[in-house]
């Protein structure tokens, strides 16, 4: 589990991920928004999904998007969530990305 921490003095590319994660959350009205960056700089953005037949955290949805697009390694992830931490186990097998978890 990765706990919430602030994004102070981080890479400018990670700041972009924060902006994207916040926008996904705001656009959909979801509890969470996430953005991930792969090994060649592509970004994938998602919000949490809560349907009767499917429930995904924002991080799970963003990682699924990245993996289904052919990403094999992730460099960084940002999750905007009111939860105290996120389960980053979904990142297993995709390198060792830096994970930033921030409160809304």
pLDDT tens digits, 1-56? 665 555 555 688 899 999 999 999 999 999 999 999 999 999 999 999 999 999 99
Domain of residue 67, CATH code: 3.40.140.10
Domain assignment of residue 62, given as a range: 2-102
Model confidence, pTM: 0.91
Which residues lie below 8 Å from residue 38, measured CB to CB, with a gap of 6+? 44, 66, 71, 72, 73, 74, 75
Split into its structural domains, the chain has a count of 1
The predicted structure's pLDDT at residue 11: 81
Type and span of the H or E element at 27:
helix 12-28
């Amino acid at each position: 589990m990765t706990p919430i921490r602030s994004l102070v003095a981080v890479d400018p590319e990670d700041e972009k991920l924060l902006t994207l994660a916040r926008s996904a959350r705001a656009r959909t009205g979801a509890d969470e928004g996430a953005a991930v960056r792969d090994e060649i700089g592509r970004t994938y953005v998602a919000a949490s999904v809560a349907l009767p037949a499917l429930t995904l955290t924002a991080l799970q949805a963003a990682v699924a998007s990245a993996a289904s697009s052919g990403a094999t390694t992730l460099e960084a992830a940002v999750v905007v969530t009111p939860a105290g931490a996120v389960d980053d186990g979904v990142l297993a097998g995709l390198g060792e990305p830096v994970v930033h978890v921030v409160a809304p």
